[in-house]
């Protein structure tokens, strides 16, 4: 073989090899990603013929199922409608639209084809999707819906020992059997639980107390002057009603939510340490939830121009951030994670909505095992912060959540919103119970109230949901 023929033969071999590589890439190695690409028209057409698996609550209640549609196709039906619409989401195969668990668990619900089934095409039977069992509790979800009583807001409840999401309810919501258009003035697919941007108010003092005690700079008995007003970042800061408390312990400051004490504590703990503990709790990052990333918001402080501060920015007003002001914006999920970390002895578990995936033969093919997100604080710190939060419920601003013989650890929050002098507030409450053996951690946020407080508006909502969940065995 002469040299020109040899070179030509080599080129042909290389081209053939490239053809094999790229063909194998899409038909075998990356077939799943191609099949599940929402821009793939064939996938959209194929999905109409796929009987997607069910989505079920923890007790087996069917939250989503496939029903026959014209032309030997399938469509989705949601028996509980508005009650679970936000976490379950919706799937409209013909339009390639999906949200919530219908989106994030789509590959399991569809029964993803393998590379071999892609190669053999029509020779392979149409897949039947697997069933997805969630951690959601219908009794707790219903209690949240009833307790909000039409108010705009959100409730999130977690099992602090596993990270299982027991309740995720937002109002206003929508009926996922008929998702609203973007210009709807009544219904919305916006999930306040994971996408909201609430001012946490004094619920954030849990974070500040954790950083202060765990860093060794304070104890629950440390005394700080609660005079009012004081200058914080050169601007006057006053207590509620401008009450001058004088010297008080950190425990008393938590019990009665003394702003001037916690602002001083945050400034003394310092921006680097405060930022470190905020990161440990999950701030500055999207929550690690098994949910579509575009439906997850990051909890963080935001500058007056609307842009988020970089972590530890020297422009942050760390004193006001320490009391849940200073542009601090949070999701209810994040604040439930804060409560859960304290409840679980300082260890924050990764939140999750999916418990297990079961195939059509009844075999469990996937299980979500509890995993640690971060070790936020020492167990001794968690125990001390718990005692402080118990005082809030026993004799402080959170007495409305008392559960009789069940101990509750909680913290109220009331943020002023609107123009200066406005009576409008954004009430919040976080808690866990039983305080001595926590089974549920909860966060409640209400969008707007005419002069209401966290202890009078949000705490009763938390109480109703805690009662429902604890009566149900947690």
Q: What is the DSSP letter of 404?
A: T
The pLDDT assigned to 14 comes to 73
Output the 3-class SS for 133-179. Answer: EECCCHHHHHHHHHHHCCCCEEEEEECCCCCEEEEEEEECCCCCCCC
The pLDDT assigned to 472 comes to 63
CB 67 within 8 A of CB 91: no
Whether pLDDT at 114 is above 50: no
Residue 79 in 3-state DSSP?
Answer: coil
Q: Which residues of 79-97 are buried (b: 16+ CB within 10 A; e: fewer)?
A: ebbbbbbbbbbbbebeeee
The pLDDT assigned to 120 comes to 43
- 215-235 average pLDDT score: 97
pTM, 2 dp? 0.89
Q: Which ranges of 36-128 would DSSP assign to H, the alpha helix?
A: 41-47, 85-88, 100-104, 106-110, 115-120
Judging by beta carbons within 10 Å of its beta carbon (0-12, 13-18, 19+), is residue 317 exposed, middle or buried? buried
Residue 58, CA atoms < 13 Å, CB-side half-sphere: 19
The pLDDT assigned to 113 comes to 46
Whether pLDDT at 379 is above 80: yes
Whether pLDDT at 448 is above 80: yes
CB 202 within 8 A of CB 429: no
Query: Which residues are within 8 A (CB) of 17 and not within 5 positions of it... i.e. 6 or more apart?
Result: none
- 415-442 average pLDDT score: 92
Residue 398: phi, psi to the nearest 5?
-115, 25
The pLDDT assigned to 246 comes to 97
The pLDDT assigned to 43 comes to 56
CB 272 within 8 A of CB 265: no
Whether pLDDT at 46 is above 80: no
Quickly state the pLDDT bin for 118 (edges 50, 70, 90): very low
- 332-360 average pLDDT score: 98
Low-confidence winner among 123-137, 155-169, 175-189, 258-272 (lowest mean pLDDT): 123-137
The pLDDT assigned to 47 comes to 77
Whether pLDDT at 58 is above 50: yes
- 53-71 average pLDDT score: 96
Cβ neighbours of 28 (radius 10 Å): 14
- CA 141/CA 83 separation, integer angstroms: 7
Quickly state the pLDDT bin for 87 (edges 50, 70, 90): very high
The pLDDT assigned to 185 comes to 78
Quickly state the pLDDT bin for 116 (edges 50, 70, 90): very low
Low-confidence winner among 81-85, 178-182, 284-288, 297-301 (lowest mean pLDDT): 178-182
Whether pLDDT at 38 is above 70: no
Question: If you average pLDDT over every residue of the chain, what do you get?
Answer: 91
The pLDDT assigned to 25 comes to 57
The pLDDT assigned to 184 comes to 80
Output the 3-class SS for 270-303. Answer: CHHHHHHHHHHHCCCCCCCCCCCHHHCCCCEEEC
Among 325-334, 421-430, 464-473, the range of highest mean pLDDT: 325-334
Quickly state the pLDDT bin for 16 (edges 50, 70, 90): confident
- CA 128/CA 439 separation, integer angstroms: 36
- 319-339 average pLDDT score: 98
Token pair, residue 264, equals: 């001083």
The pLDDT assigned to 186 comes to 86
Q: Which ranges of 215-362 would DSSP assign to H, the alpha helix?
A: 250-255, 259-269, 271-281, 318-321, 332-343
- CA 89/CA 86 separation, integer angstroms: 5
Whether pLDDT at 26 is above 80: no
């Amino acid at each position: 073989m002469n040299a020109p023929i040899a070179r030509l033969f080599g080129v042909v071999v290389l081209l053939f090899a490239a053809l094999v590589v790229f063909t194998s890439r899409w038909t075998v190695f990356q077939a799943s990603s191609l099949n599940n690409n929402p821009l793939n028209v064939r996938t959209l057409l194929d999905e109409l013929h796929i009987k997607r698996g069910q989505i079920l609550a923890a007790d087996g209640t069917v939250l989503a199922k496939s029903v026959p549609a014209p032309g030997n196709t399938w469509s989705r039906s949601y028996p509980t409608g508005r009650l679970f619409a936000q976490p379950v989401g919706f799937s409209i195969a013909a339009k390639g639209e999906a949200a919530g668990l219908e989106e994030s668990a789509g590959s399991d619900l569809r029964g993803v084809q393998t590379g071999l089934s892609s190669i053999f095409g029509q020779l392979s039977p149409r897949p039947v999707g697997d069933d997805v069992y969630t951690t959601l509790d219908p009794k707790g979800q219903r209690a949240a819906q009833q307790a909000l009583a039409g108010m705009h807001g959100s409730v999130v409840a977690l099992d602090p020992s596993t990270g299982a999401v027991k309740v995720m309810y937002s109002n206003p919501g929508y009926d996922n059997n008929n998702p609203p258009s973007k210009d709807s003035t009544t219904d919305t697919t916006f999930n306040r639980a994971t996408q909201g941007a609430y001012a946490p108010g004094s619920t954030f003092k849990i974070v500040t107390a954790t950083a202060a005690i765990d860093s060794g700079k304070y104890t629950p008995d440390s005394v700080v002057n609660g005079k009012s007003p004081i200058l914080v970042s050169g601007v006057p800061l006053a207590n509620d009603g401008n009450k001058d408390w004088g010297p008080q312990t950190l425990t008393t400051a938590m019990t009665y939510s003394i702003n001037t004490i916690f602002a001083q504590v945050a400034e003394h703990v310092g921006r680097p340490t405060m930022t470190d503990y905020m990161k440990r709790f999950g701030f500055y990052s999207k929550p690690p939830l098994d949910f579509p990333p575009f439906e997850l918001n990051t909890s963080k402080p935001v500058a007056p121009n609307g842009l988020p501060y970089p972590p530890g920015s020297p422009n942050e007003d760390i004193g006001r951030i320490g009391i849940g002001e200073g542009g601090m914006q949070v999701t209810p999920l994040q604040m439930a994670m804060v409560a859960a970390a304290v409840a679980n002895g300082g260890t924050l578990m990764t939140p999750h909505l999916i418990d297990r995936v079961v195939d059509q033969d009844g075999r469990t093919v996937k299980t979500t095992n509890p995993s640690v997100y971060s070790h936020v604080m020492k167990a001794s710190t968690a125990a001390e912060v718990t005692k402080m939060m118990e005082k809030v419920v026993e004799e402080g601003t959170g007495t409305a959540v008392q559960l009789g013989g069940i101990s509750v650890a909680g913290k109220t929050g009331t943020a002023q919103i609107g123009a200066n002098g406005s009576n409008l507030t954004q009430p919040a409450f976080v808690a866990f119970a039983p305080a001595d053996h926590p089974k549920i951690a909860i966060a409640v946020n209400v969008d707007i109230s005419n002069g209401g407080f966290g202890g009078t508006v949000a705490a009763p909502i938390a109480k109703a949901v805690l009662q429902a969940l604890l009566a149900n065995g947690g």
